[in-house]
Structure 1
Amino acid sequence: MDTSAAGAEAGADAGSDAGSDGGSALVVGAGVGGLATAIGLRRAGWTVTVLERRAAPERYGTAFGIHPTAQSALDRLGLGAALRERAVPYRDARIRRPDGRVLAALPLERIERKAGRPELLVSRPHLIDALPAELDRLGGTDIAYGCPYDPGAPGGADLLVGADGINSAVRAARFGAASAPRELAEAAWIGIAGFETGVYGETWGRGRFFGMTPVEPGRTNWYATVPGATTARELRAAFADWHDPIPRVLADTDPQTWIRYPMRHLHPALPSFTRTAGHGPVALVGDAAHAMTLNLGQGACTALLDAEALARAVAAHGPGGLPAALRAYDGERRRSAQRVALGSRTLHRFMTARRPALRDALVGLLPS
């Protein structure tokens, strides 16, 4: 059964409490996790300040895949309608070899059957715009751009939330340096082709892969990894003999719009996403807590689930019950998010195997 209407109604009910008495929170980071946390806390009646070290919102990027569980979290935050306004369903995607032979289907049909709704794809700029728009509608939140977090500055907020990404200053200051970014050998490339390929899913080769998804009418989201490739020419050469439309996607899109970034993850896993001792209660969400590789496409989803769970726990326990709220949040989210992160790293090693014959044989046993 599709629960989107019920979830949206619950989100609207939560929003009606935005003017009630609550605590105060300082959220560091104005990405998906930070803004979604701010929305959830504001709906619980808290006063929220968001600090963002960048001078303006970062509207770069291509597409977010939003799993049905994350869609439900957005419904509870009152953002389900904004998501569905521009999202497209993700269906009929395959895993292929470089010659185009289909090895298996991605499990999208099973996800839709189980959840009663499909996985959705939405352009990253649309979601990044929808989150502050909702904060503006709710009121009571200041977003300070160009303001990096200073761990030595005087406190004052009841709760500190670190949503400042894989290089989190909050994590470094409050959780130590034991868990830190670890870089993989490959870099990731992402871009948008100005046409619909109609061929979606992922193609796995020797040590590299290429993926394509829908994102908006007339456009296709793509992503790839190649060890050692640092230029557009090298990336195009790495996929020149792969099946259509991969060479065409790379040939027909402007390299100036491509984004290249190192593949990284947080390692080792944190023993807790929260702290209450020392300088007061603090919680980590999103990449600050469990940054992962892109292979499962769950980075934004886990950040949204973190944000909604933290806000829900805080609303249930109130400003005076923050220790219990943070225990509840950590208990709900840490193991689940870390399993996803581990699964993504494991899949990355599998996808980029240097001897793909056994891998392809195993994948070929899956339904196609």
Structure 2
Amino acid sequence: MRTTATLAEAYQAVVCDLDGVVRRGTRAVAHAVDALTALGVPVVYATNNASLTPADVAAQLVGLGLAVSADDVVTSSQAGAAFLGERLAPGSVVLAVGGRGVADALREVHLTVAESASDGELVAVLQGYGPLVTATDLAEAAYAVQAGALWVATNADRTLPTHRGVAPGNGALVEAVSFATGTRPVAVGKPAPALYDLSMARLGCGREDTLAIGDRLDTDILGAMAAGVDSLWVLTGVDDLRSFARAPDRPLPTYASVDLRALSLPPQVAVKDGSAWSCNGVAVTVDPVTGTVVITGRSGPASDVVERDSVLACAFRALAEARDGSGSSPAGLDALDRAAAALTSELA
């Protein structure tokens, strides 16, 4: 446990996810811009969204009110291109599927970009998300893979949070190609550690001094665990306590918060106290058999961000303990779901 005046002060650098953390579509997430602007440590914005170039992403973030340059952005397209650049000779022909961020990343590592499976001596496919990806693009990827091309996916996120709701992500498009070819790609984005490794290299910071921030358990949090860095899970995007309770691979963030205001607050860390988990006088107990939740120490409605984060710090630890102890039986999962639903209502 790190005891500092604020969570941000416990680290020398931050690797921050974008979609669901900083923005939803074209809109800023509440409190995100102010919280990130106030940070006294460098930030790299690491995104699994491969559709845009770092310069494009930086321009969007500037439009939201953040002071960001292209050097502050690392994309999964860059991670995928770096993976291929280490394995292919300069000038090798690679099919780019996705937004222009995919093609630009390939050119950065001196690879030749193809738009069709029949272009030149094609040796690989880099598939990333793009809002204008068509069935024809997916077919070209399938043809190339069937012909023996090395297939790399920038990421496998099946969904993408937007200001209108949740849309299909690159993982959904990858599944279409996989169904057609009967094969699976190498996925380099989160939860693989490559994107975090690139970000830390950009920051010049070690694992123990880096904090990763994300909203998705299956990418951001599992990726941070794979990379060996501490993580802050925020509830402003895709996942909530109910998805946490049922999440495969048992993701476990270091911290959790309702939003990014946690960065300017003391670290909220729950400790085991008998059968309960406690933080700042709040205690939470979850019965893994019945799903019953007991919360004590609350001073009133969950309007104060410190108290809400204290409840959340206890809640996710109690759910994790119950999750680890209940196994994956239907009855156990149902009990966990009831407990998570009750805890979610406390944070509403």
TM-score range, shorter chain: under 0.3
* TM-score with structure 1 setting the length: 0.24
Where relative contact order (Cα < 8 A, 6+ residues apart) is larger, the structure is 1
* TM-score with structure 2 setting the length: 0.25
